[in-house]
Amino acid sequence: MTALLEVRGLHKSFAEFTAIDGVDLALPGGGITAVIGPNGAGKTTFINLLTGKLAADAGSIRFGGAEITRLSASARVHAGMARTFQVTNVFPLLPVEQNVAVPVLARTRRSLEPRRRFDSMEDVREEVRGLLATVGLGERAASTAAVLSHGDRRLLEIALALASRPKLLLLDEPTAGMGAGERERMLERIRALAAQVTILLVEHDMEVVFGLASRIVVLHQGKLLADGSPQSIREDARVREIYLGEASVAPAPTTAAGAGAPLLEVEHLDAGYQASHVLHDVSFGVARGGVVALLGRNGVGKTTTLRSLAGLTPPWRGSRIRLQGEDIAGQPPERIAARGVSYVPDDRRIFPDLTAAENLRVPLLALKRGGWTREKIGALFPPLATLWERKGQHLSGGEQKMLAIARALMTAPSLLLLDEPSEGLSPLIVRILVEALAQIRKEGVTVLLADQNLMFARAVADRALVMERGRIVYAAERAQLLGDQSTLQRLLAV
């Protein structure tokens, strides 16, 4: 029997480096196969080559027995290959039901039909209703996609992919950025889907990978390193070495936060977007030289808190934010940045056409101040040290994350705000990040970070604040973070 997917000698280089270097892979129908590998291993490039987002330099891809190496992305969808994306990718200003109607019409070859009204096509409406019911979005059919929560948008993405009735479904980090409860629901959906469709997924979260996959493929530096059952991958010494073996998180720092005056004091912070009131009376302080973690599920207001501090989402009247004793609430972001507050958004915002080195120089153009040098950055993030001349768009997700933090450090900030620093990172990079944060605090930089990963927070923070529905509901000191975590776990799970 021929394999559903057969990849032979696949090659892809970008101007400066080889991302996929001769990969062979045969996938029979059925089951869930996971592609894993450290950041920069070429996982995303591999998925992009399979689905036609990128064109291969050499090699062949056969799907269902037919050669598809040179087909356009939409033609591959028609052949039965659908995908989701690492960063949610829907049609934001269209209603949910119209989002799903797009692939349904495409599959039935009616995308170009100009004469009939699409909303009068009964079969389309019915199928859309069925798909939305399958993913549990039936009640949101008329909402605009942009107002859905992060988890709902990921479900909508799955509905979009399923609407193409694929034989092979490619999921690029399906649980990235999800809270524990949302993630559990997503895993159930994926398991249920595996009964109907062959699934290939890329994922960092080892719990997810080992909980789902019947077969695991390991990529490393663009090559296929190992391929086998979860059991054999767990026992593979080479895999251990590059990947799982490095997973242990470094011991927690022992230095206590400085006892002097707090660097940041937040009092009665209220903020939101137009009519939606997100933050309610948030008050907390961050000691000079401390590392404080804001924990909480998606949509509880962590990002809004950081954005308010950075001046990107203006705090509402009555809010007080004092930095080194001076009120900065309501000041524009560039003024706040000039006072030494550096914000690293969760989506990294690397300048794609600038090299890594140029990305670092950008903030220095505006702020005539600096302290950190490239050498110092290279020592902090060793993987970056060999990548200075590579363009931002050719860096992997994890490399971009490190570069974004490095860029923030170039301005020698006194307060570093990090949004979801550990999201989507391989264990190796997480470990580098933990060590880097310990080094950063040694340099006297105060850190406030928002994350969902309790283990990460435990490794780096000396204080954790748990948020729920725009309020701080629990504060855990160092001892509680390290000791009994039952309260924290209860608050962070659903």
- Minimum separation from the CB atom of position 344 to other proteins (A): 25
User: Burial code of 95-131, b = ≥16 C-beta within 10 A, e = fewer?
Assistant: ebbbbbbbbbbbbeeeeeeeeeeeeebeebbebbeeb
Q: Which of 37, 43, 36 is nearest to 20 (CA)?
A: 43
Kindly state the helix (H) or strand (E) to which residue 419 belongs, with its residue range.
Answer: strand 415-419
Which CB atom, from 95 or from 370, has the smaller least distance to other proteins? 95
Which CB atom, from 60 or from 98, has the smaller least distance to other proteins? 98
Which CB atom, from 52 or from 177, has the smaller least distance to other proteins? 52
| CA distance linking residue 438 with residue 459, whole number of Å | 10
User: What type of residue is 457?
Assistant: A
Query: DSSP letter string over 329-376?
Result: TT--HHHHHHTTEEEE-TT----TTSBHHHHHHHHHHHSS-----HHH
Residues found near other proteins in the complex (CB under 8 A) = 51, 53, 72-75, 77-78, 82-83, 85, 89-94, 98, 101-103, 105-107, 110-119, 121, 160, 163-164
- Rounded to 5 degrees, φ, ψ at 441 are -70, -30
Which CB atom, from 97 or from 205, has the smaller least distance to other proteins? 97
- Minimum separation from the CB atom of position 433 to other proteins (A): 29
- Minimum separation from the CB atom of position 33 to other proteins (A): 20
CB-side exposure of 58: number of CA atoms within 13 Å? 9
- Minimum separation from the CB atom of position 125 to other proteins (A): 13
- Minimum separation from the CB atom of position 157 to other proteins (A): 9
| CA distance linking residue 82 with residue 73, whole number of Å | 9
- Minimum separation from the CB atom of position 30 to other proteins (A): 23
- Minimum separation from the CB atom of position 276 to other proteins (A): 16
Which DSSP symbol is given to 144?
B
Which CB atom, from 66 or from 261, has the smaller least distance to other proteins? 66
How many degrees, rounded to 5, is the angle at CA 97 between CA 92 and CA 99? 40
Which CB atom, from 74 or from 196, has the smaller least distance to other proteins? 74
- Minimum separation from the CB atom of position 117 to other proteins (A): 5
| CA distance linking residue 19 with residue 424, whole number of Å | 19
Dihedral sign, Cα of residue 475, residue 481, residue 485, residue 488: positive
- Minimum separation from the CB atom of position 178 to other proteins (A): 20
Strands 58-63 and 5-13: antiparallel
How many degrees, rounded to 5, is the angle at CA 418 between CA 417 and CA 422? 165
Query: DSSP letter string over 44-55?
Result: HHHHHHHHTSS-
Laid out side by side, the sheet with 223-228 consists of: 81-83, 168-172, 198-202, 32-36, 215-220, 223-228
Which CB atom, from 53 or from 374, has the smaller least distance to other proteins? 53
Q: Radius of gyration over alpha carbons of the chain, in Å?
A: 24
Q: Are 368 and 357 in contact (CB under 8 A)?
A: no
- Minimum separation from the CB atom of position 45 to other proteins (A): 16
Q: Provide the terminal-to-terminal Cα distance of the chain, rounded to the nearest Å.
A: 44
Q: Residue 54 contacts by C-beta under 8 Å, 6 or more apart in sequence?
A: 12, 45, 48
Which CB atom, from 55 or from 494, has the smaller least distance to other proteins? 55
Which CB atom, from 92 or from 245, has the smaller least distance to other proteins? 92
- Minimum separation from the CB atom of position 72 to other proteins (A): 7
- Minimum separation from the CB atom of position 219 to other proteins (A): 22
Biggest CA–CA distance in the chain, Å, is: 73
Q: Are 395 and 350 in contact (CB under 8 A)?
A: yes
Which CB atom, from 113 or from 126, has the smaller least distance to other proteins? 113
Which CB atom, from 102 or from 206, has the smaller least distance to other proteins? 102
Which CB atom, from 111 or from 232, has the smaller least distance to other proteins? 111
| CA distance linking residue 39 with residue 392, whole number of Å | 15
